[in-house]
Amino acid sequence: MAGKTEAILARKGEIMKRALGMDYSAFEQSPIAFDYEGMMSAHGYSIDDITGIQRAGGVGRTPLLELRNLTDLVRSYAEPGHGARIFVKDEAANMAGSFKDRRASVSIHVAKEKGYAGVIAATSGNYGAAVSSQAARAGLACIIVQEAFDSRHVGQPEIIEKSRICEAFGAEVIQLTVGPELFSHMLELLDETGYLAASLYSAFGVSGIETLGYELAEEMTAVTGAPPTHVVVTHAGGGNTTGTARGLKRAGATTEIVSASVDLSGLHMASDSDFNRKSFTTGHTGFGVPFATWPDRADVPRNAARALRYMDRYLTVSQGEVFYVTEAMAKLEGLERGPSGNTAMAAAMSLARDLPSDATVVVQETEYTGAGKHHWAQLNFARENGVEVRSGDPTENVPGKSIIIPERPEQIRAKDFDLAKMRRSYVRNALSHAPEGYAPTAADIEFLAEDTNSDTATVEETIAGLRAT
């Protein structure tokens, strides 16, 4: 088995080039830099083209809702003159119930246009449902590969529910235990079938999210007279932040981009013992930090999701704060939605509290909920895995050990993650992946400045500091 895995991994470049339908080597400029914008535009679709693709797929133009009751709640404990207006883009209205329908729609269109017989995606979350749904509409075969179980073959309720949904759409679902074999097994399937790799991190998928940011700018301007002052994005692998920010920029908006993740520090995402103690399969720091500080750890040669390019702030919230807001959304706004978008909503409530009342904060997604995705199911599963669940001070939350649900909304306080530290980590990772002794050129430094949303002086200072240690 080990020899077979090594053999398939040795052919990764050849397999992925065929399965992605594009030659990533055409964009390489040096051991560090590549033509990011060239890669993003190589598919040849304009944003109007992508909007048309999505409308044909039943995707996009989801409702923009003002959450007046949540806004009033925040203003009840904010300082006088503070408490921004809170809005949400209800992406649960998409075909498969999340914003990931947007990225799936473009990948499926590409597969159909290029003559692939089917698609394969490795995902345990909403993306699998989105790919399965869009593949069904296009008449394409679909295989979804999931990390679904720990070594006891106990699966998270949310992931098991996703399996059922994918199968309902006609997809074949292959379930694995947590571990490193996910990518090698996907490669093997791609090699055997000749299907398109509907990667979360391709330019096709990330470009599909740009329509979400573009719609936000247009719709908020129609409602309030201007684009939103702040958009809060649940952050994991980076595609959500990247695509939404690019769409806002295309629309000419100068909106502050605030990424948000659940703080799961201390838990290892590939750990068998930690697998069922996370409560969140996405939108957490276990993906958010490593993918921001080295995006090219993905299943494509160069990741189109490069969140550090676009983040203005990165906020973290606790598990208990997200569960509290999930229930508050249902009881105050009549929106029973899943925890992923409510991660950003918890951060948005904290952010809105400190902003002037004429500011506008948009949470740019919701996701559907039900059965295994419901917050009660998640909390019951946490208890079954030995995690303490109680009300109290959310600062006492310890990932994997305790989930502390706030007693009052004013206890919701997001924390700023150190972006300077993340930028330093990214530069260090970029240098470590270059050949030993390689000296970054001026073009490399410019690329690193763009990729970290900083400037060349900061990058040069960071490189000098790394060399001195």
- Summarize pLDDT for 418-453 with one digit per residue, the tens: 999 999 999 999 999 999 999 999 999 999 999 999
What is the percent of the chain where pLDDT is above 70?
Answer: 99
What is the percent of the chain where pLDDT is above 90?
Answer: 82
Q: Give the pLDDT score at 339.
A: 83
Q: With CA atoms as reference, report the closest residue to 243 among 40, 19, 58, 450.
A: 40
Most confident of 123-132, 254-263, 274-283: 254-263
Question: What are the structural domains of the chain?
Answer: 2-53+98-203 (3.40.50.1100), 60-95+206-416 (3.40.50.1100), 428-468 (no CATH)
DSSP character for 464? H
**pLDDT beyond 70 at 42:** yes
The mean-pLDDT minimum among 113-122, 147-156, 259-268, 312-321 falls in: 147-156
The angle subtended at Cα 92 by Cα 106 and Cα 119, nearest 5°, is 30
When the pLDDT of each residue in the chain is averaged and rounded to a whole number, the result is 95
Q: Give the pLDDT score at 2.
A: 60
Strand partners, 429: none
Mean pLDDT, range 64-72, rounded to an integer: 98
Mean pLDDT, range 461-469, rounded to an integer: 91
The mean-pLDDT minimum among 43-57, 251-265, 270-284, 330-344 falls in: 270-284
- Rounded CA gap, 61 and 210, in Å? 12
**pLDDT beyond 90 at 370:** no
- Rounded CA gap, 147 and 175, in Å? 6
Phi, psi of 303 (to 5 degrees): -80, 130
Are the CB atoms for 211 and 102 separated by under 8 Å? Answer: yes
Q: Give the pLDDT score at 141.
A: 98
The mean-pLDDT minimum among 6-10, 89-93, 318-322, 354-358 falls in: 6-10
Q: Give the pLDDT score at 1.
A: 54
Q: Give the pLDDT score at 374.
A: 86
pTM for the predicted model, two decimal places: 0.96
**pLDDT beyond 60 at 369:** yes
- Token representation of residue 185: 């097994």
Q: Give the pLDDT score at 124.
A: 85
**pLDDT beyond 80 at 3:** no
Q: What is the pLDDT of residues 258-267, one digit of tens each?
A: 999 999 999 8
Q: Give the pLDDT score at 455.
A: 97
Q: Give the pLDDT score at 8.
A: 87
Q: Give the pLDDT score at 333.
A: 98
Band (pLDDT 50/70/90 cuts) for residue 341 is confident
DSSP character for 417? -
